[in-house]
Amino acid sequence: MDKQVKRKNTKNIALFFLLIMAAGFLLTIPVQGTLWGKLLQGGFEAGLVGGLADWFAVTALFRHPLGLPIPHTALLPKNRDKMTNGLISTLENNWLTKESIVIKLRSIRIVDKVFDLLERELHSGMVKSILQSFAAKTIRQIDLEKVSPVIENEIRGYAKKLDPSSLFDSAINQIVSRGYDEKAIDYALGQAGNWLSKEESALKLGRTAIQMMDRIDGDGFVRFAISSFTKIVNEEKIGHIIQNYLLQSIHDMKQDDERKQEVLIRPLRLQLDKLKEQEGIKKELEAWQDRLVQGYPIKGIVDKGLEQLRQKILTFIEGPDFFDVYAGPFLEKSLLQWREDEARTNRIENWTQDQIAAFIDRNHSKIGILVKENIDKLDNETLIYLIENNVGKDLQWIRINGAVCGFAIGIILTIIRILI
Domain that holds residue 386: 2-78+378-419
Give me the number of domains the chain comprises: 2
In a domain, 324, yes or no: no
Pairwise CA distance, residues 194 & 250, whole Å = 11
Cα 281 versus chain centre, distance:
55
CA–CA distance from 236 to each of 201, 213, 246 (Å)?
A: 10, 15, 15
In a domain, 239, yes or no: yes
Cα 214 versus chain centre, distance:
88
Long-range contacts from 209-218, C-beta under 8 angstroms, 24+ separation? 209/235, 209/238, 209/239, 209/242, 210/235, 210/238
Pairwise CA distance, residues 339 & 349, whole Å = 11
Query: Could you say which of 293, 314, 338 is where a domain stops?
Result: 293
In a domain, 230, yes or no: yes
Query: Could you say which of 293, 319, 340 is where a domain stops?
Result: 293
In a domain, 307, yes or no: no
| Burial (Cβ within 10 Å: 0-12, 13-18, ≥19) of residue 360 | middle
> Digits of tens for pLDDT over the chain (420 positions)?
455 555 556 667 777 877 888 888 888 888 877 878 888 878 888 887 887 787 777 777 667 776 777 776 766 677 778 877 877 787 777 777 888 888 888 888 888 888 888 888 888 888 888 888 999 999 999 888 888 888 888 877 777 776 666 766 777 777 777 777 778 878 887 888 888 888 888 788 777 877 776 666 655 655 656 666 655 667 777 778 887 888 888 777 777 677 666 777 777 777 767 766 666 766 776 677 676 667 677 788 888 898 999 999 999 998 888 888 888 888 888 888 888 888 988 898 899 989 988 888 888 888 788 878 887 787 777 777 777 666 656 666 676 777 778 778 878 888 887 787
In a domain, 323, yes or no: no
Same domain assignment for residues 171 and 289: yes
| Cβ pair 268, 181 in contact under 8 A | yes
Residue partners of 279: CB distance under 8 A and separation at least 6: none
Same domain assignment for residues 281 and 166: yes
| Cβ pair 144, 307 in contact under 8 A | yes
Query: Could you say which of 254, 277, 293 is where a domain stops?
Result: 293
Q: Which residues of 199-230 are buried (b: 16+ CB within 10 A; e: fewer)?
A: eebbebbbeebbeeeeeeeeeeeeeeeeeeee
SS3 letters across 158-192: HHHHCCHHHHHHHHHHHHHHCCHHHHHHHHHHHHH
Pairwise CA distance, residues 54 & 396, whole Å = 9
In a domain, 266, yes or no: yes
In a domain, 19, yes or no: yes
Cα 98 versus chain centre, distance:
34
The CB density around residue 51, as the number of other CB atoms within 10 Å, is 28
In a domain, 68, yes or no: yes
